[in-house]
Amino acid sequence: MTLNSVKRHVQTVENLEKKQKKYVSKEEALAKLQAYCAYQDRCHQEVRSKLLDLGIYGDDLEEIIADLITENFLNEERFARSFARGKFRIKQWGRVRIQRELKQRNISAYCLRKAMEEIEDVDYATTLEQIILKKNKHLRASNTYTRRAKLATYAINKGYESPLVWESVKRLIQDE
């Protein structure tokens, strides 16, 4: 055996040891998940995957999730509302992007509606205008039509509705 093959073998053994998970008891898992959910609002999907990582399956998994819900550590509506508020205020995402992200997390239609209530229409329009004006300062395009197209694409990619974006861009960026 060469030195390189020995090193590869040792790395393979080390990787296998890292992959072997320590399985925890149901009580330990419940305590860990309570701390996990208390730190930050979580959706059911995140909690489920965390339990699977801890080696909790089947009825034990469902019982822990039920306990977390009854003890109000896990609340999908609260998660959806805080997610929408945070992504809108901090990352300035639009409603389309927020809804898409929540759907990927398997959030119910009811919770989606409640999350969208967190975004005030006036704040939404103001934020859209701010991101358009801020982006406009950094664009180098001299042609008005190109400038408008780039601004609209940027805002639409941030998750704002296309008709609303085009209306704002046309109002804010006048022909030169």
pLDDT at residue 19 is higher than 70 = no
Instruction: Identify the band that residue 20 occupies on the pLDDT scale cut at 50, 70 and 90.
Output: low
pLDDT given at position 5: 66
pTM of the prediction? 0.84
* Residue 114 identity (one-letter amino acid): K
pLDDT given at position 140: 87
pLDDT at residue 71 is higher than 90 = yes
pLDDT at residue 132 is higher than 70 = yes
To 5 degrees, how large is the angle CA 127–CA 88–CA 80? 150
More confident site: 40 or 18: 40
Buried b (16+ CB within 10 A) or exposed e, 47-58: bbebbeebebee
